[in-house]
Structure 1
Amino acid sequence: MSDIKNYICDNEQRLDAFLTSKIGQTRSQVAMLVKNGAVFIEDKKVTRPGVKLKLDQQIRVEFPQAKETPALDIDFDVEILYEDEDVLVINKPSGLTVHPAPSVKEATLVDWLKHKGIRLSTISGEERHGIVHRLDKGTSGTMVVAKNNEAHEFLSSQLQDKSMGRYYLAVINPPLKDDFTTIEQNISRSSHNRLKMACAQGSKSKYAKTTFKVLSLSNDEKYQFIACKLFTGRTHQIRVHLESLNRHIIGDHIYALSPKIEKSERILLHAYMIYFYHPTSKEKVSFVAPLDDVMKTYIDKKFDMEQINEVMDTDNIISSFSANT
């Protein structure tokens, strides 16, 4: 059963602008309502969100019910770094897929969120679960989840204006030559392998920029522990930009040249720290996700842990990037 609301035009303007002011949602959400056939002017279904309204015209909106899909059973837990009424900050484990898809048979982060009772719905009836940004299945680390629609809109806008960001940690080989390396190369789907992205030019490619900072060299000088700062958020961006330098993350079975040479249970890529402005307080906040046992054990075998603990200081990482960018 739909929730029906009626409005009367009190000012000649575009339909999407009018409904945005009445409903308190974004124009994109209003456009989705129109696309789904839920908006009527004088009982006639609207097909364009930009149609011009006349004074005293009657507008009817039939808000559809949210589409709810049942959650799969879960046999895992997720570390919560912070939680309040607006946001949930987690340390996503490696091996956990964020979104359900036809090819994904196991439970995902979305299923875990459903079990926690985090179910947001848009005004157009689409179910969403507060996912603002994502991490690849193998990548671990910080993610922020919105717990209401207002927080979701506020956090999503920060992704667009770059006031939200993350610093990543990775173990790579062979070592980078310079202390800092910045790559600005467009990225698109690989024409040779549909599982991969690649540096490429062309109409379908998207601008991408990454800076890498060397933190430590392994005891045998074959591997490096690095920090990565993303200025854009393209699929596989860190891995693709490293591949353009003939460098690869340990445990990466898609981009590594010879994954059998150096085995790891997981790709050693971790979203170490996230920062953003809180939806309610509007204050800048940041959170750090500790490394999991697999990544810690690998680093402990290859590197001087005393030095590693020193270079992992977040103030050190932030100030290093700030001084270089």
Structure 2
Amino acid sequence: MTEFISSKSVRLDQELASKLNIARNQVINLIKNGNVSVNNKIINKAGFNLNLGDKITISTPQISEIQSEFKADFDIEIIYEDDDILVINKPINLTIHPAPSVKEATLVEWLKQNGYTLSNLAGQERAGIVHRLDKGTSGVMVVAKNNESHANLSKQLSTRDMGRIYLLLCDLALKENCVIDRAIGRHPQNRLKNAIISNAKPSKSAFANILTSQNKLINLVAAKLFSGRTHQIRVHLASINRHILGDDLYGFKSNSAKIGRIFLHAYILRLIHPRSSQIMEFKATLPSEFYELIGKEFDKEIVDESIKADILCDIFNDISNWMYYN
């Protein structure tokens, strides 16, 4: 059971979508299934008007195991686990949740097949999923093991109390550290891509140069997200003519098949524990192929020093004077 107080006079579905950070159709399903009460009365109407101070209660059944035609026969590194959250180091080429177009086992299926208890605020197909990483992106993710944790972590995403820092390799150095504040929406001609589109969803990222390779051809860049759009880092970089190594979808010009992956890794995740309120920081070790390429192009000792968590977090503490793109 999850409870919170309405912060303003607004439609019930709008308040739930905002508080839980889930899609509107998922909110509507919760309401239609009788899982939402306002002031202890079940409400089945998505457009129900809330008043400031109304008590909203979400009661959802435990997730039942669903048989999948795909066997999740792979391993995932567990960074941290307790009764409320699971933090993993997601490998590349792993889709987060099932969809009609996905013909292989996903992270959600791996979680279920390995017996994890998961939240179901976002529905069974997205059980436990608070935020996502692209299929080709590796790195740290937090999974919610109950609905209270899911609601709390979702709120942290919307209030930016949850911090995420990525490492990437790109083909051109940034002119200087920068903030890109450009709305992102579906690409009008290519359904596989997103693009910068006026009046689409607000999207903000910050990028910092870390190191440039000795031959000046590869650059190690850190990125921090202030929103969570699909392909956000990739779209924002492409908008300033920078491309992640291996990312031919967004304009990288080289032999992507030979490179073998998109060199984007979710490196650091900071959050407030949903039960203890303790500030926690998790780091996902760089994959071997990422580190091997770094070793060929950079001095490893300098890299290791430059990507220490405290150093990277300090870089993004004050971005007020960075170059600003909007």
The interval holding the TM-score normalised by the smaller chain is: 0.7 to 0.9
Matches within 5 A, 1:1-16: none
Question: Is the contact made by 1:36 and 1:124 (CA closer than 8 Å) also made in structure 2?
Answer: no
Query: CA-to-partner distance for each residue in 1:96-130, whole Å, 9 max, x for gaps?
Result: 11111111111111111012212436489856521
The partner residue of 2:184 within 187, 197, 200 is 187
Contact persistence 1:275–1:287 (CA under 8 A): yes
Q: CA contact under 8 A between 2:170 and 2:244: conserved in structure 1?
A: yes
Counterpart pick for 1:170 among 153, 168, 171: 168
Residues of 2 paired with 1:36 and 1:81: CA distance?
35
Partner of 1:211: 206
Specify the alignment match of 2:280 in structure 1: 285
1:151 aligns with 2:139: no
Structure 2 CA distance for aligned equivalents of residues 78 and 117 of structure 1:
14
Counterpart of 1:142 in structure 2 is: 140
Match 2:223 to one of 225, 228, 246: 228
- C-alpha separation in 2, matches of 1:51 and 1:322: 41
Shift of 1:253: 2.4
Once residues 208 and 138 of structure 2 are traced to their aligned partners in structure 1, the CA distance between those partners, rounded to angstroms, is 19
Structure 1 residue 324 displacement after superposition: 2.7
How many residue pairs get aligned? The number is 288
Identify the residue that residue 289 of structure 2 maps to in structure 1: 294
- The residue type equivalent to 1:200 in the other structure is I
Q: Map Cα deviations across residues 269-303 of structure 1 (whole Å, 9 max, x no partner).
A: 00000010001110110100000111111111111
Give how far 1:304 is off.
1.6
Aligned to 2:77: 79
Q: Secondary structure at the match of 1:69?
A: coil
Report whether the alignment pairs 1:111 with 2:106.
no
1:126-174 deviation digits (Å, cap 9, x = unpaired) = 5652111000000000000111111111111111111012100000012
- Contact kept? 1:67, 1:125, Cα under 8 Å: no
For the residue of structure 2 that corresponds to 1:171, the secondary structure is strand
Scaled by the length of structure 1, the TM-score of the pair is: 0.79
Q: Equivalents in 1 of 2:191, 2:28: separation in Å?
A: 32
Q: Helix, strand or coil for the counterpart of 1:323?
A: coil
> Identity rate of aligned residues, in percent?
48
Check whether the contact 1:130–1:147 (CA below 8 A) recurs between aligned residues: yes
Report the TM-score, using the length of structure 2 for normalisation. 0.79
Cα distance change on mapping 1:30 and 1:200 into 2, 3 Å: closer
Q: Gaps spanning 5+ residues in structure 1: where?
A: 1-15, 40-44, 53-61
Q: CA deviation at 1:66?
A: 5.1
Alignment match of 2:67 (pick from 58, 67, 70): 70
SS at match of 2:317: helix
Confirm or deny that 1:271 pairs with 2:266: yes
- Residue in 2 aligned with 1:102? 100
Identify unmatched segments of 5+ residues in structure 2: 1-11, 37-41, 50-58, 321-326
Separation in 2, partners of 1:207, 1:254: 22
Q: Distance in 2 between matches of 1:122 and 1:220?
A: 49
Q: Is the 8 A contact 1:68 1:127 kept in 2?
A: no
Name the counterpart of 2:87: 89
Task: Note the 1:110-129 alignment, pairs <5 A.
Answer: 110-120=108-118, 122=120, 126=124, 128-129=126-127
Distance 1:65-1:236 versus aligned 2 partners, 3 A rule: closer
